């Protein structure tokens, strides 16, 4: 019986470690208090940012042209959108 309890505890710890490693930087920063650094393109300043589930959306302004951009920083980096404001 004690071996079974130890096996269950070990399986739980392994699952916890695997779930933490499978998280993306966005998910760790939002859900678990992790840290993430976002590099902005050259000549852009951050105006605002917001979360949509685990995806981070950034509103930036180009300091040379005055155009504004709303970019998605996706959890998996596969589908990242951009909306341009003129």
pLDDT in tens, 44-83: 999 998 888 777 888 999 999 998 988 887 765 655 677 7
55-62 sheet: strands from edge to edge: 44-52, 55-62, 68-73, 82-85
Looking at 3-17, 25-39, 68-82, which range is the least confident one? 25-39
Residue 25: predicted pLDDT: 60
Nearest CA to 36 among 80, 81, 75?
A: 75
Q: Is the pLDDT of residue 32 over 70?
A: no
- Please give the Cα distance from 42 to 50 (Å, whole number): 21
Report domain extents, the chain.
2-85
Q: Is the pLDDT of residue 86 over 80?
A: no
CB distance 69 to 59 below 8 Å: yes
pLDDT-derived band at 26, boundaries 50, 70, 90 = low
| Percent of the chain whose pLDDT exceeds 90 | 17
């Amino acid at each position: 019986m004690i071996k079974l309890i130890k096996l269950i505890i070990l399986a739980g710890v392994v699952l916890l470690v695997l779930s933490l490693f499978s998280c993306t930087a966005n998910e760790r920063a939002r859900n678990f208090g992790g840290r993430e650094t976002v590099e902005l393109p050259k000549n852009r300043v951050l105006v605002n940012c917001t979360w949509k589930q685990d995806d981070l959306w950034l509103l930036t302004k180009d300091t040379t042209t005055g155009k504004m951009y709303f970019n998605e920083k996706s959890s998996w980096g596969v589908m990242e959108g951009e909306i341009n404001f003129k």
